[in-house]
């Protein structure tokens, strides 16, 4: 993992950031607070097999991942144009954010940058409307993440905000 960032723990305030999406639009974490919960899905590489499968699962089951109470933000260190081509090819309609330059700055602040590969680990953070981490999972680059626990954490978050 990174030696510059500490992985935010449950209860911690998530580091704020502003990144550009695959259309070049700036997206700010602070701009979403007070309006919606946020799922940050860090992924290593656009067009790679495991990442494509994971983001297809989000796309195909979007009602489980994103709705009026939650916004999915997928983050990698790929350049914006690569993310745009990938989103167009795969039909991803949730924001794919580029942490390309300065390379991995946000990913590093979340403590999930694999410095040798220059790519994020497979990390997922569920944030409440105050920007606090309510659930997290961090895995290796070469192992597909299990979204089952995310769905359970989201159900818990939904029931606690009613």
39, 41, 51, 74: the catalytic one is: 51
* 77 assigned to active site: no
Q: Is the peptide bond before 21 cis (omega within 30 degrees of 0)?
A: no
Bridge pairing between strands 18-21 and 26-28: antiparallel
Alpha helix stretches (DSSP H) within 6-147: 29-32, 49-60, 62-65, 80-90, 105-109
CB 14 within 8 A of CB 132: yes
One-letter-per-residue 3-state SS of 101-138: CCCCHHHHHCCCEECCCCEECEEEEEECCCCEEEEEEE
Decide: 141 and 117 in contact? Cβ < 8 Å: yes
How many CA atoms within 13 Å lie on the side-chain side of 97? Answer: 24
Active site residues: 51
């Amino acid at each position: 993992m990174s030696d510059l960032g500490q992985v935010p723990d449950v209860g911690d305030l998530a580091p704020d950031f502003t990144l550009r999406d695959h259309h070049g639009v700036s997206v700010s974490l602070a701009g979403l607070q007070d309006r919606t919960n946020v799922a940050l899905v860090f992924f290593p590489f656009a067009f790679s097999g495991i990442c494509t499968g994971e983001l297809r699962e989000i796309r195909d089951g979007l009602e489980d991942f994103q709705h009026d109470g939650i916004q999915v933000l997928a983050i990698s260190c790929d350049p914006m144009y690569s993310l745009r081509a990938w989103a167009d090819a795969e039909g991803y309609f949730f924001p794919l954010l580029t942490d390309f330059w300065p390379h991995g700055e946000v990913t590093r602040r979340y403590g999930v940058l694999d410095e040798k590969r220059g790519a994020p680990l497979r990390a997922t953070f569920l944030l409440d409307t105050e920007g606090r981490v309510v659930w997290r999972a961090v895995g290796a680059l070469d192992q597909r993440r299990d979204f089952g626990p995310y769905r359970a954490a989201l159900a818990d978050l939904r029931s606690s905000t009613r």
